[in-house]
Structure 1
Amino acid sequence: MTGIANAPVSFGIFELTTGADFPEPETILGPLRDAGYDGIDLGPVGWLGAGQQIQARLREHAMALAGGWFDMPFTADDDAFGAALDGLEDALRIFVAAAEVDPDRLPLPTLADSGSPARRANPGGSPEVMLDDAGWKRLSSNVAKAAERVRAAGLEPTFHHHACTYVETPEEIDIFLDRTDVGLTFDTGHLIIGGGDPVEGWRRWRDRINHLHLKDVRREVLAQVVRERAGMRAVWERKAFVALGAGDLELAEIMDAVIADGFDGWLVVEQDVVPSPSDPPGQAIDDQRANREILRRWIP
């Protein structure tokens, strides 16, 4: 059964904005539950708390943890990657505690590549910044090590193809899936940045998709960022990601395919934003209520 979740990033709460004056989790957990969401993503590690604190928060609002972003330097040297593995262990303790709240729908730790300065300067990718064979061997070997840690904790990993990283374009996603056994977090917005088509991508990789991030996008904004090589912060600040139905995503085709294929996992609505003082008060939660209402056509 598909669970519908939202994410702190829809409220501007994510790693890029760490250090900002984040609201308390309760200020969004309650409204999201009232809007009809079943779960939430982790956000910055520690924001939802740990141990009994995250359990109490989730139970109070009848929510489950759906997943959570954890990027790692999969192509870095052994020392850098080893340090990241230690950080993963810290995050996994939070995932394991949260999993006790709803053992029938376990969260998926969401691994991603950290990329590099060259990739961050080239959103959309290009042959000049692709990994060579040695790079792919290192990445796939390190992904296997991270996946082993996740599975040892009793959970199943998923991997997020992400703009400005070494797994971004359709070609790179194909190579990644060929060289690993980890499921794919399918992100409609990031696939468009990487030059892919979400409907085609869903059909192409459906058998490996175990997590879904649903984003609507303004394609022209994304295309301009790619042309300017402006980076991901520009994507968020220029509000390329918009409420469902307000952008260019073929939402009906994607959701019809998701339902027809019997997808059984978490669907996470994400509307990544960097908050601005000019944003109307309450806009974020109003957007997420509207997003949930639109999805009732497919998932009541």
Structure 2
Amino acid sequence: MKATVAGAPVSFGVFEMTPEGAETVAADDMLQILAEAGYDGVDLGPVGYFGRGDQLRRRLANFGLELAGGWVQLPFSDDEAFQAALPSLTDALRVFSDAAESSPNRLPLPTLADDGSAARRAAPGRGQTEDPLDDEGWQRLATNAAHAAHLVRASGFEPTFHHHAGTFVESPDEIDRFLSNVDIDLTLDTGHLFIAGGDPLEAVRRWGGRINHLHLKDVDLAELKRVLAAGGGMPEVWSSGAFVAFGTGDIDLPSVMAAIDERGFEGWVVVEQDVLNGSDLSLPTFQQQRAHDQRLNRDALSAWV
């Protein structure tokens, strides 16, 4: 497979939902763990976490890593809120440009995602019944997503769209509707697809020609179903330990990777094992656990890439 494997800060509890003031793994420690485990790239994480400009380029070069992509969440179904949020996209694109100046082998993909709603985030996988989006909302979502994609392409990058639990593009039917209305290809996230009742192998068959980015997760389905049945929202899913190391969950990794390979996939494979830090964590122990799991994850992909 002509793909490139990247790690992600979210696997170390560093992402937009990290509690304010929480103790987190240092950027250089994280990159060293990923480099030593055999990764070739890393996702951006919160804008600025790895630095900007020369600091970002030096940091990536020091560990032999390239930037794979990065999360840009925008309220696509709300025109006013979307316009107000566009500076965050502009800021992220500057950071992508900073990283790309080092002439990478593979450009990063700005990863666009919908912002969803509070009702949807509180009911992951049940959004179509808890907070359905009407036809006018879908029109706004498609129009604004297309505008964001235009801005990404004007900056020299190819966008990708991430379906995500707790947003207005979460279920297989919603993904179908998005892809039929917007000229942006798909980030397939195996974990978030499980939350929305989808199957990753069927997803490759269904959308394979539109998948240009892969967020690969393994999931303990029994734990995930327990959290969702108890009424848990996305914070509860992230903190539950439902996202596990490859080989310890329920994803059929060989079948999914074989199907991806058959499609001639040549993009980034970003390994994500979403974790939400607890307030009482021991950082050294937590870091050791994260390093152990990221080695398992990288080794599990060695048969393909």
TM range (shorter): over 0.9
Alignment of 1:111-150 (within 5 A): 111-128=112-129, 129-150=131-152
SS at match of 1:17: coil
> How far apart are the structure 1 equivalents of 2:128 and 2:265?
33
Is the CA contact 1:123–1:229 (under 8 Å) kept in the aligned structure 2? no
The match for 1:110 is 111
> How far apart are the structure 2 equivalents of 1:250 and 1:204?
17
Is the CA contact 2:12–2:25 (under 8 Å) kept in the aligned structure 1? no
Q: Select 1:52's aligned residue among 32, 49, 54.
A: 54
SS at match of 2:212: strand
Q: Deviations over 1:164-196 (max 9, x none)?
A: 100000000000000100010000000000110
Q: Cα RMSD (Å) of the superposition?
A: 1.4
Is the CA contact 2:53–2:95 (under 8 Å) kept in the aligned structure 1? yes
Is the CA contact 1:58–1:101 (under 8 Å) kept in the aligned structure 2? no
CA 1:191 to 1:202, structure 2 compared with 1: closer, same or farther past 3 Å? same
Give the TM-score, by structure 1 length. Answer: 0.96
- Is 1:16 the counterpart of 2:17? The answer is yes
SS at match of 2:17: helix
Q: How many residue pairs align between the two structures?
A: 298
> How far apart are the structure 2 equivalents of 1:210 and 1:50?
26
SS at match of 2:202: helix
> How far apart are the structure 1 equivalents of 2:151 and 2:67?
19
Q: Deviations over 1:98-149 (max 9, x none)?
A: 1122433000010101111121122102433221111110000000111111
Unmatched segments (≥5 aa) in structure 2: none
Q: Deviations over 1:258-290 (max 9, x none)?
A: 222221000000000123426845000111011
The match for 1:283 is 289
> How far apart are the structure 2 equivalents of 1:10 and 1:269?
8
Alignment of 1:2-81 (within 5 A): 2-17=3-18, 19=20, 20-78=22-80, 80-81=81-82
Is the CA contact 1:18–1:44 (under 8 Å) kept in the aligned structure 2? no
> How far apart are the structure 2 equivalents of 1:17 and 1:204?
33
Specify the code of the residue in structure 2 equivalent to 1:116. Answer: S
CA 1:81 to 1:290, structure 2 compared with 1: closer, same or farther past 3 Å? same
> How far apart are the structure 1 equivalents of 2:201 and 2:262?
13
Alignment of 1:1-300 (within 5 A): 1-17=2-18, 19=20, 20-78=22-80, 80-128=81-129, 129-276=131-278, 277=281, 280-281=285-286, 282-299=288-305
Unmatched segments (≥5 aa) in structure 1: none
Percent pairwise identity: 55
